[in-house]
Structure 1
Amino acid sequence: MLSRKLHLISLGCTKNLVDSEVMLGRLADYEIIDTPEFADVIIVNTCGFIQSAKEESIQTILNAASARKEGALLVASGCLTQRYKEELKELIPEIDIIAGVGDFDRIDEMLHSKNNQLTPSVFLADESNKRVITGSNIHAYIKISEGCNQNCSFCAIPSFKGKLQSRNVDSVLREIENLSSQGYRDFTFIAQDSSSYLRDKKNNQGLIELIESIDAQNLAQTARILYLYPSSTSLELIKKIKDSKIFQNYFDMPIQHISDAMLKRMKRGANKQKHIELLRAMRDIEGSFVRSTIIVGHPGESEEEFQELCDFLENFIFDRLNIFAFSAEEGTSAYNMEDKIPSRIINKRINIINKIINSQQKKIKHQMLHQPHQVILEGKSQISEYFYSARDVKWAPEVDGEILINDSDLDDMVLKPGYYQAVLSELKDGFLFGKVMSKI
Structure 2
Amino acid sequence: MKKTIDIITLGCSKNLVDSEQLIRQLEASGYHVEHDPEEPQGDIAVINTCGFIGDAKEESINMILEFAQAKEEGVLDKLFVMGCLSERYLKELQIEIPQVDKFYGKFDWKGLLADLGKNYDPKLHLERSLTTPDHYAYLKISEGCDRTCSYCAIPIITGKHVSRPMEDILDEVKLLVGQGVREFQVIAQELTYYGVDLYKKQRLPELIERMAAIPGVEWIRLHYAYPAHFPYDLLRVMRENDNVCKYLDIALQHISDNMLSKMRRNVTKADTLEMIRRMRAEVPGIHIRTTLMVGHPGETEQDFEELKDFVREVKFDRMGAFAYSEEEGTFSAKNYEDEISDDVKQARLSELMDIQQSVSAEVAQRKVGTEQRVIIDRIEGEYFIGRTQYDSPEVDPEVLIKDEGQDIEIGYFYDVKISGSDDFDLYGDLI
- 1:281: how far off? 1.8
**Is 2:287 the counterpart of 1:289?**
yes
TM-score for the superposition, normalised by structure 1:
0.90
1:141 to 130, 138, 141: 138
Residue segments in structure 2 that go unaligned for 5+ positions in a row: none
Residues 136 and 71 from structure 1, CA distance in 2 versus in 1: closer, same or farther, beyond 3 angstroms?
closer
> Which one-letter code corresponds to 2:271 in the other structure?
K
Checking the alignment, whether the CA contact within 8 Å between 1:27 and 1:108 is kept in structure 2 is yes
Structure 1 residues 134-187: Cα deviation after superposition (integer angstroms, max 9, x where no partner): 121110111000011100000111112010110121111100111011111110
Equivalent in the alignment of 2:66: 63
Equivalent in the alignment of 1:393: 389
Equivalent in the alignment of 1:194: 191
**Is 2:12 the counterpart of 1:19?**
no
1:131 to 128, 133, 142: 128
Range that drifts further, 297-306 or 356-365: 356-365
Checking the alignment, whether the CA contact within 8 Å between 1:137 and 1:378 is kept in structure 2 is no
- 1:94: how far off? 1.7
TM-score for the superposition, normalised by structure 2:
0.92
- 1:4: how far off? 1.1
2:116 to 99, 105, 111: 111
Residues 223 and 127 from structure 1, CA distance in 2 versus in 1: closer, same or farther, beyond 3 angstroms?
farther
1:222 to 200, 208, 219: 219
Alignment of 1:202-241 (within 5 A): 202-241=199-238
Equivalent in the alignment of 1:250: 247
Alignment of 1:342-361 (within 5 A): 342-361=341-360
Checking the alignment, whether the CA contact within 8 Å between 1:259 and 1:308 is kept in structure 2 is yes
Equivalent in the alignment of 2:302: 304
- Cα separation, 2, equivalents of 1:227 and 1:185: 21
Structure 1 residues 186-225: Cα deviation after superposition (integer angstroms, max 9, x where no partner): 1011111000001112532310111222233344111011
Structure 1 residues 289-315: Cα deviation after superposition (integer angstroms, max 9, x where no partner): 100001110001111111111111110
Equivalent in the alignment of 2:88: 83
Checking the alignment, whether the CA contact within 8 Å between 1:127 and 1:178 is kept in structure 2 is no
Residues 278 and 364 from structure 1, CA distance in 2 versus in 1: closer, same or farther, beyond 3 angstroms?
same
Alignment of 1:259-278 (within 5 A): 259-278=256-275
Equivalent in the alignment of 2:51: 48
- 1:279: how far off? 1.1
- 1:278: how far off? 1.2
> Which one-letter code corresponds to 1:361 in the other structure?
S
- 1:25: how far off? 0.8
Checking the alignment, whether the CA contact within 8 Å between 1:22 and 1:104 is kept in structure 2 is no
> Which one-letter code corresponds to 2:41 in the other structure?
F
Q: Secondary structure at the match of 2:24?
A: helix
Equivalent in the alignment of 2:399: 403
- Aligned CA RMSD, in angstroms, stands at 2.1
Checking the alignment, whether the CA contact within 8 Å between 1:145 and 1:164 is kept in structure 2 is yes
> Which one-letter code corresponds to 1:353 in the other structure?
L
**Is 2:141 the counterpart of 1:154?**
no
- Cα separation, 2, equivalents of 1:258 and 1:277: 12
> Which one-letter code corresponds to 1:392 in the other structure?
T
1:335 to 333, 336, 350: 333
**Is 2:168 the counterpart of 1:171?**
yes
Equivalent in the alignment of 1:380: 379
1:432 to 423, 426, 431: 426
- Cα separation, 2, equivalents of 1:108 and 1:316: 49
- Cα separation, 2, equivalents of 1:312 and 1:393: 25
Checking the alignment, whether the CA contact within 8 Å between 1:153 and 1:266 is kept in structure 2 is yes
Checking the alignment, whether the CA contact within 8 Å between 1:154 and 1:329 is kept in structure 2 is yes
Checking the alignment, whether the CA contact within 8 Å between 2:45 and 2:76 is kept in structure 1 is no
- Cα separation, 2, equivalents of 1:145 and 1:186: 19
Range that drifts further, 292-301 or 203-212: 203-212
Task: Please list every run of at least 4 consecutive aligned residues from structure 1 whose deviation after the TM superposition is greater than 6 angstroms.
Answer: none
Structure 1 residues 63-92: Cα deviation after superposition (integer angstroms, max 9, x where no partner): 222345444211111000000111111111
Residues 241 and 62 from structure 1, CA distance in 2 versus in 1: closer, same or farther, beyond 3 angstroms?
same
Equivalent in the alignment of 2:42: 39
- 1:107: how far off? 3.1
Q: Secondary structure at the match of 1:217?
A: coil
> Which one-letter code corresponds to 1:315 in the other structure?
E
For this pair of structures, how many residues does the alignment match? 421
